[in-house]
Amino acid sequence: MVVTDELINEYAEGAVLLTGMETAIVGITQEFGNGPRVLYSTEKILDILTNGGMVDYEEALEYFHYNILGGYFGEQNPIFLSDHLWD
């Protein structure tokens, strides 16, 4: 199933979305006491960053850590699956 804007609006209204990273969305998470948030695949984000050919894997990883993972985008900040750690 593809996670669409309609699904996100229905199940995670107000969740922060990362521009250009739509294909890296894995699903929507829920946690007691917090609003629903969008779960992203780190591996897919790194693929998106490197597929343009402008950066290599190490540069993409550094960009991800400082600009995406290290960012605070709001109360329903996205969360990230560390699936890039396994082959």
Is pTM beyond 0.75? Reply is yes
Question: What pLDDT does 66 receive?
Answer: 95
Mean pLDDT check: name the lowest of 5-9, 10-14, 35-39. 5-9
CA pair distance 27, 4, nearest whole angstrom: 10
Residue-level pLDDT at 63:
94
More confident residue, 63 or 74: 63
- Mapping DSSP onto H, E and C, the string for 45-82 reads HHHHHHHCCCCCHHHHHHHHHHHHHCCCCCCCCCEEEC
Average pLDDT over every residue of 45-64: 91
Number of structural domains the chain divides into: 1
Domain range enclosing 25: 5-85
